[in-house]
Amino acid sequence: MQLNNPALLCNKAYIDGEWREAQSGARMPVLDPASGEQIADVPDMDSTDTAAAIEAADRALPAWRAKTAKERAVLLRKWFELIVAAKDDLATLMTAEQGKPLAESAGEVLYGASFIEWFAEEGKRVYGDVIPTHAADKRILVTREAIGVVAAITPWNFPNAMITRKAAPALAAGCTIVIKPAEDTPLSALALMVLAEQAGIPAGVVNIVTSRKSAEVGQTLTDSPIVRKLSFTGSTGVGKQLMRQCADTVKKISLELGGNAPLIIFDDADLDRAIPAAVACKFRNAGQTCVCANRILVQDGIYGEFIKRYQAAVEQMTIGHGLEGTFDQGPMINAAAIDKVEELLTDATDKGARIVSGGARHSLGGGFYQPTIVADVTPEMRVAKEEIFGPLAPIFRFETEEQAIAMANDTEYGLAAYFFANDLGRVWRVQEGLEYGMVAVNEGILSTEVAPFGGIKESGIGREGSKYGIDEYIEMKYVLLGGM
């Protein structure tokens, strides 16, 4: 792995402006998911280190919160510019530890940077109000202030953007933050911190705790009365547990949890547009995103044609190690991820589904798995209910618009949904009927820093990005002035 700036490959955590080892001296390996080979090691921190990070964030809070929004924006803008300048190195690091193709990694770096750019400006617009008074000698003001110390727990599938999407609004609002990146992908987080330090963000404002002791670190963050806000992206099961743990200190929470995204193809869809979108929506990052199409629902009239054209497109995909060439799909994150895909596929075929394409581990070995299509899927199969998180595309058949909406909503999740249709009346009816926090019409990718990202039902609480995202790090204060 060759970097233009070798300093971005950092092997220490960052607390209170210092690059540190774990107090215990423990370290943990970082593996290349394509080969399983170790590419680095980093500190394996515990509750003691986490407590030190919380205390550092608490000490840094008064001075950071006292800065003007414009002063904070200047530093955030410098961080953004440094990230963009280091795009190639950051993408290389990400592909090495996470596995996604290099072009996808580079795209994520710019996507992650966009949140810093956006919130650097949005922090200047945390407006209050003057409310018409109820009495002549009184005045009513409403101010909006930083909530305080924030804890962020981020996932491995987007190891750059899921950090910036939380850190940028927190810092712009005047909060300080403790970040626990995923144990599989700490190098991207540490590289971001190298650049944040270079940008001049003060000691203690951002702290990075690397650890594979997720439960212990999470418990410390949620137990602490100093931490006033928790932002988590990950599985619904873990999110529920963190939510319970936050109850004792009544923290404000943002949870971006699991999904079971439907992608509906109606018979009036433009298949020239729908097919490539359905490939990208399903197989981006080897299917390892919370907004990937988990279920593809195709209307009777075009069912056979869609499968034929979809198979042809999927079988043109190229598979390989992102640092060894230009490919469409890289490895899965680890062996357990492959095992789950195989279990889901076996369950589906045992219950009558047929494999159209793929269906096995790739000849490259390691973490590689063939892009797989399985047809004639029914609601009784596990793929209809469980988040796949892998390159497996299950295709369901439906007859009517009403049936498609009912099938799409038949899940406890409500993160993202997609559909393709040209009839304007259908477009309005379906988008109104889908019980999801995000709906994309005639598009397969919906993420952008300018729109609110988040779900309903068991897919989470709160929104990230957009003008709404900074509200997650703000408290509202009502001020009554008497004797006027």
**Pairwise CA distance, residues 88 & 94, whole Å:** 10
- Residue 453 DSSP code: B
Length of the chain, please? 484
Closest to 371 (Cα-Cα) out of 281, 257, 261, 265: 281
Cβ-Cβ contacts under 8 Å for 348 (sequence gap 6 or more): 374, 377, 381, 382, 383, 394
**Pairwise CA distance, residues 177 & 207, whole Å:** 6
Tokens linked to 412: 């406890």
Angle at 453 between CA 262 and CA 400, to 5 degrees: 25
Beta bridge partners of 476: 144
Q: Tell me the three state secondary structure of residue 237.
A: helix
**Pairwise CA distance, residues 384 & 295, whole Å:** 7
Q: How many other β-carbons are positioned within 10 Å of the β-carbon of residue 250?
A: 9
Tokens linked to 249: 């200190």
Catalytic entry in 108, 183, 256, 458? 256
Beta bridge partners of 420: 265
Percent helix, strand and coil across the chain, each rounded to 5?
40, 25, 35
Q: In the chain, how long is the greatest CA-to-CA distance?
A: 80
Is 211 in contact with 46 (CB distance < 8 Å)? yes
Cβ-Cβ contacts under 8 Å for 68 (sequence gap 6 or more): none
**Pairwise CA distance, residues 382 & 347, whole Å:** 7
Phi, psi of 252 (to 5 degrees): -75, 140
In the numeric block, the tokens 């618009």 are attached to 401
Catalytic entry in 55, 290, 387, 401? 290
Catalytic site includes residue 256: yes
Closest to 313 (Cα-Cα) out of 328, 300, 325: 328
Laid out side by side, the sheet with 416-420 consists of 354-357, 372-377, 392-398, 293-299, 261-265, 416-420, 438-441
DSSP-assigned letters across all residues of 41-58: EEE---HHHHHHHHHHHH
**Pairwise CA distance, residues 83 & 179, whole Å:** 18
Angle at 19 between CA 13 and CA 20, to 5 degrees: 65
Q: Is the dihedral of CA 216, 218, 221, 222 positive or negative?
A: negative
Catalytic site includes residue 290: yes
**Could you list the active site residues?**
256, 290
